[in-house]
Structure 1
C-alpha cells in the first residue's frame, strides 16, 4: 500500500463516480428552496418555463407573452421532467434542475477522464478539482441551462474520441452527432462548434484528418440536420418564418460577428478565465515554468504527437485550447460560455497534480497548497471589509461562518502543505462542502433585496389583482413577469406610456430611476410607491 494513502482516499478511489456524486449531493441537498429567483436569467427562465407549461408553448419558447428566440426548448423540457417526476414544486424545480445539471456535468467530466485513459486515481481527482472550483459551485446553485449544455458537449467529445480510436466507429460517430443536436437545442450552435472544432484540430495534430472523410461522418451530419430541421419546421408551423429569421440572423450571425449584446474586448477571457478558475489558477505558480518555456520541451512534444500513449492528454489540451481561442474570436463574450472548457482543464490539473501511469506529478503540490491557502485566507480576510463597505441598508448574514470555514481550510492546507496531492484535495473538498452551507442558506438569501425582482414583482401582482394595467418602460424583458404573475406591457416609448395612462383608470408602471428622472411632462396623477435597487441599478414603481 502507498505510504501516502488514507482509508478515506482509498475508498473514494475505488468508487470515484459515487464519491463525487455524494459530495455534490451534500453541497446541494439543503439548498433546494432557500432564496428567491435572481436577476436576470433565473426570473426570466422561470417565466419562460411557466409560459411553456401554462400556455402550451412547447416548441417555440415565449417570454412575457412574446416569442423568445434566444433559447431552444430542451432545458425547459428537462425542467418539466423534474416537475413531473420528483416531489419538487415551485422554485425548488429550478434549484433541483441546477443541481441535477451540475451532476450531469460532473459525471460527463469524470466519464471524459476515463475515456481519455485516466485511472481511478486521476478520475477521482478530476471530479474533486471541479467540485472545489468556486465558479462551478456558484453555477451549480444558479438556475440556467449552461451545465446541461456543457454536459452534452462533453459527451459528444467522448463519442468522437471513441469513434477515432475504435474499429467499429459508426455507432460512436452517430451518437456524437445526436448529442450535438441535443446540445444545440439546449442552448445554441456552440453545441456543434465546440466538439467539431476539437475533433478537427486533434486530427490535424495527429495527421489523421482522413478519419473525418468517411460514411459515418456523413450519416452523422444527416442525423444532426434531421434533428435540427424537425425543430425548425415545427417552429415555423407554430410561429412563422420571422422567428427563424431572428434565430439565424440576430441570435447566431450577429452574436458571432457583431454582437448587439455582451460585446467585450478581445482579451476578455484572458482576464476572466483565471478568475473563474480560482482557486486552481494558483497551479500556474506550481508548474515547472522553466521546462515549459524551453524549446527542447516543445520539440519533444511535437516529436511524440503520433504516440498513441499521448492521445488522451492531447485531446484534453486541444479541447481546451481550441475552445478558448474560438470563444476569444467571437464578438459576444459571456463568462458562462467557458464552462465546457472546465472539463479538460480539470483532467489536466488532476493529471498534473497526481501523475498518471508512469508519469510523475508535474505540479508542485507544496507550492499549490500554499497558493490555494492564500486564496482562502485572502477571501476570509476580505469578506468582513467588503461587508463594511456594502452600500445598502440590509446586512449580509452568515459572513462570520463563511469566513471561519475558509480561514480554517486555508490554515489546514498550510499545515499539511508538505503532504501529497491527495490530502490537499480532500481538505479542499471538505472545506468547500462545509463552506457552501452557510453561504447558500444564510448569505445568499440575505442578498434577495438586491438581486431579486421579487419585491417589485409581488407589489405589481397585488395591484394587477385589483385591476391595474401592468406596464414597464425600457427594462430587461421579462424580469418582473414571473413574480408579477402576468405578462407586462413593455415599451421604450414615453408617448405610448402617456397614451396608456390616459386609456386606463388604473396602471402600475415600473422603470429605471434614470428614465423616470428624464421623463419630461410627467403626469401628475402618477405616484411613486416603491423603489428597489436590483443588481446594479434602481427601479421605480409608480401607480396611477
Structure 2
C-alpha cells in the first residue's frame, strides 16, 4: 500500500468527526472566545478571556485561528481541526521519510533485499500504529496547540540529526533553531526544553558534548533570542509589565516548580502512559523495555530516539504541572522505535503475540459492551446506528486479528488489521456526532436559547453552576449572567431564561421547586428553563 493512500485513509476516517462535532466547553470554546476578543480589541501579541489576562499560551496558534475567522467570517470546526491534523500529517510524513532514508542507507551497504522488503512493510505498520495511537489520534482532532508544537519539535530534532549525520549542514543549521523557536512560539517553554534536553543528553551519551556548539552555537541562540525579543516587545507594547510578568514568570516558573494548575505527583505519567498509548501500550512499552534490557538499541538513530523518549519522560515527570497530553512529543518516537525493533525480535514470541491479542479481545467485546451500556439509565444516547456499526466493525476486527495471530502466525498483518479496523470504526462512529453533540458541547443548547429568547422576548441569559459558561458568548453573541442560588430564589424570576445542570434540579429541592411545571428543554446533562 502506497503512503499517499495511507494518509488518505486516515483523513477520511477522521473527516466525519472533523465536520460534525461540537466544540468542547473546557478548552476549545474558551479558545474561540479568546480569538473573538483579540479580533474585537485589535490585539496581536496579548490575549484576554472575558477581559482577564490570558498569558497561558503563545500567539502562533491563535494567529492561525484568527486568520481562519477573518477569511471564513465565522468559526468552523473543520478549519480548526485542520490546524491539528495537518501538523500531525507532517509529523507522520517526516518520521516515515526519516526512517526510510536511514534504513535504505543501511540496506544499500548490506545489499539485503529481503530486509528491504520487510522494512517497507514495517514502514506501513509504523504509520498505521501512530495514526491509531489514542493520544496522537485524539490530538489530531482537537483544537489545541499541542500538535503544532509537536510538529516543530519533530522537525527540529530531524534537522539536528541531519546535522549530526553531516547532511546539508548549512541548511539545517538555520532550520534547527527556527523550528525550535516556532515550537516555543506555539505552546511555550516545552517547545524549547524538549529539543535542548534531548540533543544535549544525546551528545553526552555519544561522548560528543564538546560538539554542542555545532548545534547550539551563536547562530542558534541568536535566532531564538531575536524571535523572543520581537515577541516580548510586542507583548510589552500591548499589555505592559503586568502581562509580560505573567507570561515570563507566573506561567513559566509557576507551572514548572510549584504548579498552580494541573499539579500531579511525579509518577503521574507512569500511569497515564498506559492509556495514552492504547491500543498499543503493551506492545510498545514491552518491546521498548525488552530492547533496553537485551541491548538491541544499537544504531545511532535508535539510540537518538531512545534518548529523546527517556530524557523527555523524566523531564516532564519532574515538572510540577502535568496533563496526559504533555507526553505527546515522545509518541512518534516510541511508535517508530518499536517498529524498528521488529526485525530484532521473534514476532511469533508468545508474549509479543499476547500484547496484540489482548487489545483484540477488548475489540471483540465492543459490540456486547455498547449494547449493554446503551441500555443503562442516562446512556441511551449511545443507542445509535452508527455507533452500533462501529462496534460491529471493532468486534469483527478483533476476531480477524486473533485469526491472523494464532492461525496465520502473522503478527505484523495482525497489527495492520487492528489499525485499519479501528480507523473504519472511527469513520462510522464519526457520523453519530450530531446525536452526541448534546453530550459533548453547548452548540445546540445555545441555538435553542437564542430561539427562545426571541420567542419569549427575553434579553438576558442566566446560567447556574455550569462550569466555564462564560464562554457561551461565542454562540449567544453576548455575555451570560452567572446566577447564584440566592439570586434565583430571592429575585423576581418572571421572564427569565435559565440554563442549569440536570443534577442540580434533582439534588436541590429549592431549585427543583423553582423549575417545577416550567417550560423545559433537555440538552445532554443540561436544561433550559423558561421562568415566567
TM-score clears 0.5: yes
Superposition deviation, residue 37 in structure 1: 1.6
Q: What is the distance in 2 between the residues matched to 1:64 and 1:541?
A: 25
* Match of residue 481 from structure 1: 473
* Match of residue 314 from structure 1: 303
Superposition deviation, residue 170 in structure 1: 4.6
Q: What is the distance in 2 between the residues matched to 1:182 and 1:216?
A: 16
- Corresponding residue to 2:61 among 75, 79, 87: 75
Superposition deviation, residue 31 in structure 1: 3.7
Q: What is the distance in 2 between the residues matched to 1:487 and 1:108?
A: 44
Over the aligned positions, Cα root-mean-square deviation in angstroms equals 3.9
Q: What is the distance in 1 between the residues matched to 2:292 and 2:234?
A: 53
Q: What is the distance in 1 between the residues matched to 2:229 and 2:417?
A: 49
Superposition deviation, residue 107 in structure 1: 2.3
CA separation of 1:54 and 1:320: change in aligned 2, threshold 3 A: same
Superposition pairs for residues 2-401 of structure 1, below 5 Å? 12=1, 15-16=2-3, 18-80=4-66, 90-114=76-100, 117=103, 120-166=120-166, 169-214=169-214, 217-283=217-283, 287=287, 297-298=294-295, 310-353=299-342, 355=343, 359=344, 364=349, 366-389=353-376, 391-392=378-379, 394-397=381-384, 398-401=386-389
Q: What is the distance in 2 between the residues matched to 1:288 and 1:223?
A: 36
Q: Secondary structure at the match of 1:479?
A: helix
Which has the larger share of helix? 2
Q: What is the distance in 1 between the residues matched to 2:173 and 2:348?
A: 35
Superposition deviation, residue 251 in structure 1: 1.7
Show structure 1 runs of 5+ residues with no match. 1-11, 305-309
CA separation of 1:72 and 1:219: change in aligned 2, threshold 3 A: same
- Corresponding residue to 2:442 among 441, 448, 453: 453
Q: What is the distance in 2 between the residues matched to 1:246 and 1:192?
A: 19
Superposition deviation, residue 369 in structure 1: 3.4
Once the two structures are superposed, residues 128-154 of structure 1 have per-residue CA deviations (whole angstroms, 9 ceiling, x without a partner) of 111222333333332222222211111
* Match of residue 115 from structure 2: none
Once the two structures are superposed, residues 297-343 of structure 1 have per-residue CA deviations (whole angstroms, 9 ceiling, x without a partner) of 45x87xx6xxxxx1100111111111111111121111111211111
Show structure 2 runs of 5+ residues with no match. 105-118
- Corresponding residue to 1:407 among 395, 399, 417: 395
CA contact (8 A) 1:48 1:61 kept: yes
Paired residue total: 507
Q: TM-score, normalised by structure 2?
A: 0.82
Once the two structures are superposed, residues 171-204 of structure 1 have per-residue CA deviations (whole angstroms, 9 ceiling, x without a partner) of 3233122112111221111111111111011111
